[in-house]
Chains A and B, each alone.
Chain A
Amino acid sequence: MPKTMFEKIWEAHEVREELIYIDLHLVHEVTSPQAFEGLRMTGRSLRRPDKTVATADHNVPTDGTPTANMIKDKLSRKQVETLEENAAEFGIPVYSLGSDTQGIVHVIGPELGLTQPGNTIVCGDSHTSTHGAFGALAFGIGTSEVEHVMATQTLVQRRPKTMRINYTGTLSERVTSKDLILATIGRLGTGGMTGYVVEYAGEAIRELTMEQRLTVCNMTIEGGGRAGMIAPDETTYEYMRGKPGVPEEFEAAVEQWKQLPTDEGATFDHEIDIDASAISPMVTWGTTPGMVIEVTDRVPDPAEMPTAGERESAERALQYMGLEAGTPMEEVKPERVFIGSCTNSRISDLREAAGAIKGRRVADTIRAMVVPGSALVKTQAEEEGLDRIFEEAGFEWRGAGCSMCLGMNPDTLFEGERCASTSNRNFEGRQGKGGRTHLVSPTMATAAAIEGHFVDIRNWS
């Protein structure tokens, strides 16, 4: 019987019904300390340190602070040092602040070759869906489940439903995979994928580079999806080849991975088609990722929303965002620009952003920062001279970490500041209390930094 990629991976990992074996457990400092403490209190060991890896990302300053014990914020320092101590005690590798391979957990997995097709991957972080871009089943879990995986290398899971989104046609020039996923969430809503594992398919997906695919799967959770997946292909294998963590018998592994894609005739619980060629550059206007419009649109009028609930949500969002209904999005002026996060901080994101600068400078009204997703991305970008391009244009060039995506570190917005951000969440206060976030692609963020307002990247010379 024909099977979906999800079914093949799920069934290969069933220890027994609804108990799934986990191939890779990624750990970071925020959601793990209580899990390690739980192991200690019950006298349990960490079953498979060789399938576990840790890094420090959420709390780390991006100002060049060299090691954990130098972090100024006392609580952040404690959390990162606790991670280091726990990793040492339980025998798991840790890439902490100062390591050559430290970085955002969802950036280092792929770049080290740890993220592999056909695997089950979990982490105490909702953006674990990112790794599904390799044809893995990857999803975020809570701290109790982190402890469960540490103790048993398995997870109790109900079998989720399956959805496939088929993208017909190809993306227009300068329209990115960030726009594709924002447009998809705008159409399906913030709960539109809840309960589903979503496979992204079709011509537009096949044409994406590996890093562009990571951006798509990353934001699956913003549509409520349990996990996002993309079938592995030559693009995947080419990206992985030569990375340190990949199987030694790489070509043999590739032959295995070629069995993973969904079989012809396999059925999904839900299937939809989206015309990729009709997607425009997108900008969020409200306080959920589903509140998103084309850059050429005007800020929507709550009075025109179909239900009372939507009207109330939209009114509150506009008030929080300090926006008037009917304002053309291209007239909206950010004061801050943030290029970074597990959505858009990889080398290709930085190359695209730097490439759009073309000798121009950041507008006087804007403070802009670029935060590479990992120490390796930072090194690579500096070897390519991208740091100089950014700095000469007036961008700040920072150290690797989650940075202003969630403001658990010194990088935050001030009350009322408006930010064009390449991150994934525009929730109230996400980037700092009272901060106003507009989610965009890296090139859209760069153009906004230079012009001082949002622009349609398609017409921007």
Chain B
Amino acid sequence: MEPINIIEGEISFLDRSDVDTDQIIPKQFLKRVERTGFGEFLFYDWIRDGEIVLHPHPILVSGRNFGSGSSREHAVWALHQFGFKAVIAPSYSDIFFSNCTKNGFLPVALGAQECKAIAAAGECRIDLENQAVTWEGGEARFEIDGEIKRRLLGGLDDIALTLMGEDEIDEFEAGPGGSFGPDTQKLA
């Protein structure tokens, strides 16, 4: 994962709420077995039908409950590969938010009024370290979990970090926790 901190530049504004991941990357593009090649299919149906026009600016601004529905991480890959580096919206679905943070793609939650103001300004600057967004005529602070922030700033690999504490997993499995759950091999 690439480290991120300052993301600045022009904005694409998608003025809709409840933008679900089925719209972000429609199902017919989920059949790839690679992590690449999704950018060109971002919002495929909406763009093809002329419902929306999106430019690959660094920042996307949208409405509440962004990324709802399917857990498909392909949605984040598509946004990222299209050219966006961050999204600003009033709220996100939990799984989408988590998926963003595993890909060095920054989801920023700000109030609906601030989102509109940023969209109107046309460009902004996101400073992850200082948890601040500035635009012409305004600025706002955003909240982000400290551990998520640390990993984004450092471009840290979740799996490598977890495996550094692998002895704790070994210990857990040696204790009562190791006996929880079914043995899937028994059925096979």
Contacts and interface: CB of A to CB of B under 8 A. Distances in A.
Contacts of A312: 16
B73 A119 contact: no
B137 interface: no
A433 B16 contact: no
Contacts of B145: 158
B185 A75 contact: no
A132 B103 CA distance: 28
B95 A126 contact: yes
B177 A144 contact: no
Contacts of A153: 169, 173
Given A245-B187, A408-B30, A313 B18 contact: yes
Interface string A381-413: 000000000000000000000000011100000
A52 B158 contact: no
B163 to A, nearest CB: 6
A303 interface: no
Interface in B58-93: 63-65, 68-74, 76, 91-93
Interface in A324-355: none
B57 interface: no
A33 B30 CA distance: 11
A13 B177 contact: yes
| Contact size range, B | 35 or more
A324 B62 CA distance: 27
Interface string A299-333: 00000000001001100100000000000000000
A178 B147 CA distance: 38
A114 interface: yes
Contacts of B93: 191, 194, 224
A425 B26 CA distance: 14
Interface in A7-53: 12-13, 15-16, 18-19, 21, 23-24, 30-31, 33-34, 37, 42, 44, 47, 49-53
Nearest to A113: B182
Given A408-B30, A427-B22, A195 B187 contact: no
A430 B182 contact: no
A433 B49 CA distance: 11
A112 B169 CA distance: 27
B31 A114 contact: no
15 contacts: A23-B180, A34-B35, A93-B188, A113-B182, A116-B181, A141-B95, A144-B99, A144-B158, A194-B91, A195-B94, A224-B93, A245-B182, A309-B64, A425-B22, A429-B45
Nearest 9 pairs between A and B by C-beta?
A: A23-B181, A144-B102, A93-B188, A33-B33, A75-B31, A142-B99, A142-B73, A140-B71, A53-B184
Given A113-B182, A158-B145, A433-B45, 10 more contacts: A15-B165, A37-B35, A52-B184, A73-B31, A125-B71, A191-B65, A194-B93, A224-B68, A428-B23, A429-B23
